[in-house]
C-alpha cells in the first residue's frame, strides 16, 4: 500500500432533501425500480468520484481486456473441445458447436462490463460480464441526476446512450428491434425499458419480449407475439445464454448461438468468456492474454485449491451473478457456507476457486465502503461506468448503486 | 382529481416521514399518467374486524381490491406500501392496468389520510400475481413472486415494536408459498401470524407458517422462480440445476 495513491476522491453525501429527490429521479426518470433491497437502500448518497489520471489508467486496462476477451471468444467458438472445461451445460455446449459449424450470429455492438476493484496490489478485476451486462440505466442516469450537486466533477460517460447509438447505427430507420429478457423480472425490464426509450427516440420500433417470442425462419429472426408479428432487424439479448436451453425447442433458441442471419447484441457465444472457468483454458489458447493474467486473481478448479482451509481463497459459481453463491467466509453465513461446500463437492466443474484480493476501502461520511467500478466497453472502447459501494468486501445485491464521476 | 403524473400518484401513496414508504415499489405507478382521473375504485373489503395498530398488515387480495384496502387502511393510520411488482406489457398474462387505475382513483384519498410517522405498514400485494389462467404462447408473461428482499426484515420490524402480522386474503386462509418465505423469517423474530379471509370473515390466529422449501437459501430468489418455468414462455428464465442466479442483470 505504501506509495499507492488512492484513485478515489471522497465526496460529501447529499443532504436528506437532495437524496429524496435523487431517489425520485432515479425511479421515474431512469427506471430504477428497485431502490430498496431488504433493509438496504441501494442508491448511494455519495457519488463514486475517481481521479482523472486513475480513470485514464482504468480505461487503458479495460480496452486492452476487451480486445483480449473478444479475440479469445472468437478462438473458443472454433474450439468446442475446450467447452466442457468451461463448466457449461451440455445443451449449451451442443448449441455452441452450432456456432463452430455455422458461424456465430452477426455481431451488433459488443457490450462488456469489467468489474474493477482498487486493491492493495493495484487494480484488479473480479470478473467480466460479457454475456448480459446490466446496470446501464443506473450508469447513465445517476450521474446526470447527481452531477448538479458536484460541479467540480463530471460523468465519465453515458453507456446507455452510447449503446443505443451503436445499435441504431447498425439498422435503418424504422427497424424492428426485440429486447429479449425474462419478462417476469422488473429488475431486468427496467434497464431494457430505458434502452428501448432511447431506441424509439431514434426512430426504431422497440419490442420488449421474451426469447420465447422469437422464431426463426432460415436464420432470420421474427417476433411471434400476441401484439405483433413480423421480421426483426436486430436482437438485443438480456436473457442469459445459459438459460436459453430451457426454452421450448420450437423457439429455435440455438440460433442465438450460431447460424443466424439476424444481428444480435450480445451473441450467445459470449457465454464462453462469461464462464468463470475461462482462466482454466488460457494455457490451451493461442490468443495472448497478458492483461487478463495480470488483472484477474489466480483462478483454479476448486479441487486444486485449498479454499476450505485457507482464507486466501474464495469459491464462486461458474455462471453466478450479483455476487450470489460466492463463498467468502467472513461475509457469508456459516449455514450458507456449508451449502456452498456441499455444492462444490458434488459439482466441482460448476465452481472455481479464486485467490482473494484485498480491496482498499473508501472512507465516506456515512462510513467505510468497498467500491466496485464496473467499466463498460462497447466494441472495445470504454463508454462509461457503473459504481457500487458495498459495506462488506462482497459486492452483492445489497451494495448501493453509485453515480460515477471523474475529477 | 386532475390529471397526475406517475410521480404525483406515487407521492400521494408515500410518506417522507414514514420509514415504510421506502419499500414502496414504483413499478405499478409507471404509466399511471395515462390513467383517467375519474377511474373507479373497487369497493374495499369491509375491515370490520379490529386490527391491532401494532400489527404489520399484509394485504394479499386481487390487484385493485388490494389498492382499495390500502386506501381504507390509510384512513385507519396504517402506512400503505404498494409492493406490486408486475411489469406492464402488451398482451400481459396478469392484467395490471386496473391496479394503476385504482392507485390514481384512490390517490387523493390516501394523500389526505392522517398517517402518522409511527404508523404500522400495510404491504399491498396482488394475489393474482401467479395466476396461470391466461398463459398462452405469444403473451407477455409478467407473473411475479414476492421475495423476502421486498420487505423489511423481521429484525427491523421488531426493533420498531411490531410483533404480529395480519394477512388479509380472500377465499381461504392458506399462506401462499412465496409469502411463506417472508413470514417464516418474521416468525423467527417472534412474530405471530393471523390470517383473515375478507370474503367470509373467518380468522385463523397464531397460524403456524410452514417452513417453505429451500428456506433461507442464499440464492432462494433464483431457485424460487424456477418452478414456474414449467409453463415457461420465457418469463422466468431457464432451469438452473446447480448454478446460482437471480435475474440476468448486474453480472
pLDDT tens digits, A200-251: 999 999 999 999 899 999 999 999 999 999 999 999 999 999 999 888 888 8
Interacting residues of A233 by C-beta distance below 8 A, sequence separation 6+: A171, A172, A175, A176, A177, A262, A263
pLDDT, one tens digit per residue, over B160-218 is 999 999 999 998 999 999 999 999 999 999 999 999 999 998 999 999 998 776 655 54
Look over chain B and give the mean of its residue pLDDT values, rounded to a whole number.
82
**Candidates B10, B87, B239; nearest CB to A189:** B87
Q: B-chain residues within 8 Å CB-CB of A251?
A: 234
pLDDT for A246: 85
**Candidates A274, A321, A346; nearest CB to B245:** A321
Interface predicted TM-score of the whole assembly (ipTM), two decimals: 0.91
Minimal CA separation from A332 to chain B, in Å: 9
Tell me how far CA of residue A348 lies from CA of A18, A278, A290, A303, B28, in angstroms: 48, 15, 27, 7, 42
pLDDT, one tens digit per residue, over A56-65 is 999 999 999 9
Q: What is the mean pLDDT of residues B15-31?
A: 94
pLDDT for A320: 73
Does this model's pTM top 0.90? yes
Q: A-chain residues within 8 Å CB-CB of B149?
A: 37-38, 397
Is A212 close to B250, i.e. CB distance below 8 A? no
pLDDT, one tens digit per residue, over B73-131 is 999 999 999 999 998 888 999 999 999 999 999 999 999 999 999 999 999 999 999 99
Is A240 close to B237, i.e. CB distance below 8 A? yes
CA angle A44, A54, A114 (to 5 degrees): 65
Q: B-chain residues within 8 Å CB-CB of A113?
A: 251
pLDDT for B237: 47
Q: A-chain residues within 8 Å CB-CB of B233?
A: 210, 212-213
Residue B225 reports pLDDT greater than 90: no
Is A28 close to B7, i.e. CB distance below 8 A? yes
Is A183 close to B235, i.e. CB distance below 8 A? yes
Minimal CA separation from A88 to chain B, in Å: 10
pLDDT for B2: 47
pLDDT for A398: 83
Q: B-chain residues within 8 Å CB-CB of A273?
A: none
Residue of A nearest to B155 (CA): A39
Weakly modelled stretches of chain A, pLDDT under 70: 1-3, 321-325, 329-331
Ordered by start, the domain boundaries in chain B are 3-239
pLDDT for A8: 98
Instruction: Report d(CA A317, CA A328) in Å as an integer.
Output: 12
Is B90 close to A113, i.e. CB distance below 8 A? no
Mutate to test the interface with B, among A33, A183, A271 (most CBs of B within 10 A): A183
Mutate to test the interface with B, among A184, A318, A320 (most CBs of B within 10 A): A184
Minimal CA separation from B19 to chain A, in Å: 11
pLDDT for A206: 97
Amino acid at each position: 500500500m505504501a506509495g499507492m495513491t488512492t484513485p478515489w476522491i471522497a465526496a460529501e453525501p447529499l443532504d436528506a432533501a437532495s437524496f429524496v429527490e435523487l431517489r425520485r429521479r432515479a425511479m421515474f426518470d431512469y427506471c430504477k425500480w428497485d431502490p430498496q433491497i431488504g433493509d438496504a437502500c441501494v442508491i448511494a448518497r455519495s457519488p463514486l468520484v475517481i481521479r482523472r489520471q486513475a480513470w485514464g489508467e482504468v480505461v487503458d486496462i479495460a480496452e486492452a481486456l476487451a480486445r483480449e476477451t473478444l479475440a479469445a471468444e472468437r478462438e473458443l467458438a472454433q474450439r468446442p473441445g475446450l467447452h466442457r472445461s468451461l463448466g457449461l451445460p451440455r445443451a449449451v455446449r451442443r448449441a455452441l458447436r452450432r456456432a463452430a459449424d455455422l458461424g456465430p450470429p452477426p455481431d451488433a455492438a459488443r457490450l462488456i462490463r469489467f468489474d474493477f476493484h482498487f486493491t492493495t496490489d493495484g487494480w484488479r478485476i473480479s470478473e467480466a460480464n460479457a454475456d448480459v451486462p446490466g446496470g446501464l440505466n443506473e450508469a447513465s442516469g445517476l450521474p446526470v441526476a447527481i452531477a448538479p450537486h458536484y460541479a467540480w466533477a463530471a460523468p465519465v460517460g453515458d453507456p446507455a446512450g452510447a449503446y443505443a447509438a451503436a445499435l441504431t447505427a447498425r439498422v435503418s430507420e424504422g427497424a424492428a428491434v426485440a429486447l429479449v429478457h425474462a419478462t417476469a423480472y422488473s429488475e431486468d425490464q427496467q434497464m431494457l425499458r430505458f434502452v428501448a426509450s432511447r431506441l424509439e427516440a431514434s426512430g426504431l420500433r422497440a419490442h420488449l419480449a421474451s426469447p420465447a417470442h422469437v422464431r426463426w425462419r432460415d436464420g432470420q429472426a421474427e417476433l411471434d407475439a400476441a401484439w405483433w408479428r413480423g421480421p426483426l432487424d436486430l436482437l438485443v439479448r438480456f436473457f442469459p445464454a445459459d438459460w436459453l436451453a430451457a426454452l421450448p425447442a420450437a423457439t429455435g433458441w440455438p440460433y442465438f448461438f450460431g447460424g443466424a442471419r439476424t444481428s444480435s447484441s450480445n451473441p450467445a457465444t459470449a457465454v464462453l468468456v462469461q464462464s468463470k472457468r475461462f482462466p482454466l483454458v488460457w494455457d490451451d489458447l493461442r490468443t495472448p492474454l497478458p492483461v487478463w493474467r495480470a488483472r484477474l486473481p489466480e483462478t483454479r478448479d476448486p479441487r486444486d485449491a485449498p479454499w476450505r482451509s485457507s482464507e486466501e481463497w474464495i469459491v464462486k459459481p461458474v455462471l453466478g451473478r450479483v455476487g450470489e453463491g460466492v463463498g467468502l467466509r467472513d461475509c457469508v453465513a456459516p449455514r450458507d457456507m456449508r451449502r456452498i461446500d456441499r455444492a462444490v463437492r458434488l459439482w466441482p466443474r460448476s465452481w472455481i476457486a479464486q485467490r482473494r484480493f484485498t480491496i482498499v476501502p473508501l472512507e465516506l461520511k456515512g462510513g467505510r465502503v468497498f467500491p466496485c467500478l464496473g467499466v463498460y466497453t462497447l466494441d472495445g472502447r470504454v463508454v462509461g461506468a457503473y459504481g457500487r459501494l458495498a459495506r462488506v468486501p462482497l459486492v452483492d445485491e445489497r451494495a448501493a448503486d453509485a453515480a460515477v464521476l471523474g475529477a | 382529481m386532475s390529471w397526475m403524473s406517475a410521480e404525483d400518484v406515487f407521492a400521494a401513496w408515500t410518506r417522507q416521514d414514514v420509514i415504510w414508504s421506502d419499500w414502496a415499489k414504483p413499478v405499478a405507478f409507471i404509466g399511471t399518467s395515462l390513467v383517467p382521473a375519474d377511474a373507479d375504485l373497487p369497493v374495499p373489503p369491509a375491515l370490520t374486524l379490529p386490527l391491532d395498530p401494532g400489527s404489520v398488515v399484509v394485504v394479499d387480495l386481487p390487484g385493485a381490491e388490494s389498492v382499495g384496502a390500502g386506501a381504507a387502511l390509510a384512513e385507519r393510520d396504517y402506512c400503505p406500501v404498494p409492493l406490486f411488482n408486475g411489469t406492464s406489457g402488451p398482451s400481459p398474462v396478469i392484467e395490471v392496468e386496473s391496479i394503476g387505475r385504482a392507485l390514481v382513483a384512490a390517490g387523493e384519498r390516501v394523500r389526505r389520510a392522517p398517517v402518522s410517522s409511527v404508523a404500522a405498514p400495510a404491504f399491498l400485494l396482488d394475489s393474482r400475481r401467479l395466476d396461470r389462467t391466461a398463459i398462452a404462447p405469444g403473451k407477455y408473461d409478467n407473473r411475479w413472486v414476492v421475495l423476502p428482499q421486498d420487505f423489511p426484515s423481521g429484525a427491523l420490524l421488531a426493533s420498531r415494536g411490531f410483533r404480529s402480522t395480519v394477512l388479509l386474503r380472500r377465499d381461504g386462509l392458506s399462506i401462499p408459498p412465496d409469502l411463506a418465505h417472508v413470514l417464516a423469517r418474521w416468525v423467527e423474530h417472534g412474530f405471530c401470524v393471523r390470517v383473515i379471509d375478507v370474503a367470509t370473515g373467518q380468522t385463523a390466529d397464531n397460524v403456524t407458517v410452514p417452513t417453505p422449501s429451500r428456506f433461507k437459501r442464499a440464492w432462494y430468489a433464483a431457485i424460487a422462480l424456477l418452478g414456474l418455468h414449467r409453463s415457461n414462455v420465457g418469463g422466468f428464465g431457464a432451469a438452473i440445476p446447480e448454478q446460482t442466479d437471480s435475474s440476468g442483470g448486474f453480472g
